[in-house]
Amino acid sequence: MDTGKSPELSLADLLERVETSAIASIKGTVSGILSIISDPAASSSDLIQLIEVDPPLAAKILRVANSSYYATSRTISDIHQALIWVGFDTLKEIILTQKMSELFHDGMSVCGYSHLHLWRHSLAVALLAKTIYRREFGEKGNNAYAAGLMHDIGVIVEDQLLHREFISMVQAMEKSPQALTEAELSLFGYDHGRVGRALAEKWNFPAELIEGIGFHHNPEGASEKHCLFTKTIFIADYLMFEQGYGYVRMPLPDREILQQYVRDLGLQWYALRLIVELVREELGQIEQKGYLAV
Ligand SMILES: [Fe+2]
Ligand SMILES: [Fe+2]
């Protein structure tokens, strides 16, 4: 948090500082989960090992397994049983989500920006990106979920490690609205996409995630191979901001850009609107039941 020291850091210095911060403690777990997600040979016992050393996480998984989503006449009290009940993919999502939520602790709120709002935004983008992949492309969407959840990790880093400057920037944006990335570029010389990409590279994330996180505001920067994936994150980010799941007050990019990406992905607006509605309902249920609360 704010150390009271000034000046801005170079990107290299910022990354260096990440290694000794709270972000670093998340790194190991997130990298571990991602390698399990991307490894087809990974087994449920790999995940159970991660869960068993983390009591709050184990409690959350049991809570989900015993929820009405998975309604059953008996009560599940064993992690192995819970795993069978909720399934491997859902379990991975719960772990990843729980670990990420550890980065959003306090109740600080400035000019519409708060950790809670940033957390809701990240989760909303994750769910929307995943649901687009599932319903429109017939894929599991695990990487889309992971990229959505972590796409603004650069914002978390700036907030935690350049706190004073970051908060002044948010306050200045309130008076003269501009895109967050523009404000960051003029203040720090880099934006949160650049920070996220550098971290994802440093942590050896899969290329798809590196690009999805790094270029979510400018998908043209992504390689051809991951361009559509990155555009999906852009679309999810845009639509959830529009739906009130933003975390800072700022003008959205030109809507024509969004429409172009929707065409590039071959998505139909009526289908997309339906998916957004489903995700809003899901978020409402999650918030109501408090499964993924901060
Ligand atoms: Fe962003
Ligand atoms: Fe975002």
Residue 293: pLDDT band (50, 70, 90) is very low
- Going by C-alpha positions, the residue among 2, 67, 56, 68 that lies closest to residue 29 is 56
CB contact at 8 A, 162 and 152 = no
Question: How many whole angstroms from 54 Cα to the centroid of ligand 1?
Answer: 29
Token readout for 290 is: 């408090």
Return the H-helix or E-strand segment holding 109: strand 109-110
Closest alpha carbon to 180 in 237, 248, 239: 248
Per DSSP, which regions of 100-178 are E strands?
109-110, 113-114
Helix or strand holding residue 194 (H, E): helix 192-202
Q: How far apart, in whole angstroms, are the C-alpha atoms of residue 250 and residue 174? A: 8
Neighbours of 174 (CB within 10 A): 14
Predicted confidence at residue 202, as pLDDT, reads 84
Ligand closest in space to the Cα of 129: 2
**Rounded Cα distance, 6 and 231, in Å:** 36
Centroid of ligand 1 to alpha carbon of 37 (angstroms): 23
Cα of 193 vs centre of ligand 1, distance in Å, is 6
Specify the pLDDT at position 98.
77
Which ligand is nearest the CA of 192, by number? 1
Residue with tokens 């650049």: 194
Q: Is the pLDDT of residue 19 over 70?
A: yes
From the CA of 217, the nearest ligand is 1
pLDDT exceeds cutoff 80 at 173: yes
Closest ligand to the CA of 120: 2
Q: Distance from the CA of 131 to the center of ligand 1, in angstroms?
A: 19
Q: Give domain limits for the chain.
A: 106-289
Q: Per CATH, which fold does 106-289 belong to?
A: Hypothetical protein af1432 (1.10.3210)
Give the pLDDT of residue 1.
Answer: 39
C-beta of residue 192 within 8 angstroms of C-beta of residue 152: yes
Residues 15, 198: contact at Cβ < 8 Å? Answer: yes
Q: Please give the Cα distance from 262 to 59 (Å, whole number).
A: 39
- The number of the ligand nearest the C-alpha atom of 240 reads 2
Cα 220 to middle of ligand 2, angstroms: 17
- Compute the distance between CA of residue 29 and CA of residue 11 in angstroms, rounded to an integer: 23
Identify which of 30-44, 95-109, 112-126, 259-273 has the greatest average pLDDT. Answer: 259-273
Ligand closest to CA 218? 1
The DSSP secondary-structure symbol of 6 reads: -
Exposed/middle/buried for residue 43 (C-beta within 10 Å: 0-12, 13-18, 19+) = exposed
How high is the mean pLDDT of the chain? 84
CB 131, CB 101: distance < 8 Å: no
* C-alpha 145 to ligand 1 mean position (Å): 15
Q: What is the pLDDT of residues 68-126, one digit of tens each?
A: 565 566 676 677 777 777 777 787 778 778 777 777 766 667 777 888 888 889 989 99
Ligand 2: centre distance to CA 121 (Å):
7
Q: How far is the CA of 196 from the centre of ligand 1 (A)?
A: 9
Burial class (CB in 10 A: 0-12, 13-18, 19+), 235: buried
State the pLDDT confidence band at 183, using cuts at 50, 70 and 90. very high
Ligand 2 centroid to Cα of residue 242, in Å, is 11
Interval between CA 174 and ligand 2 midpoint (Å): 18
* Contact (CB, 8 A) for 8 and 67: no
79 phi/psi in degrees, rounded to 5: -60, -40
Of 24-33, 108-117, 174-183, the range with the highest mean pLDDT is: 174-183
Best CA proximity match to 97, nearest among 131, 67, 60, 135 = 60
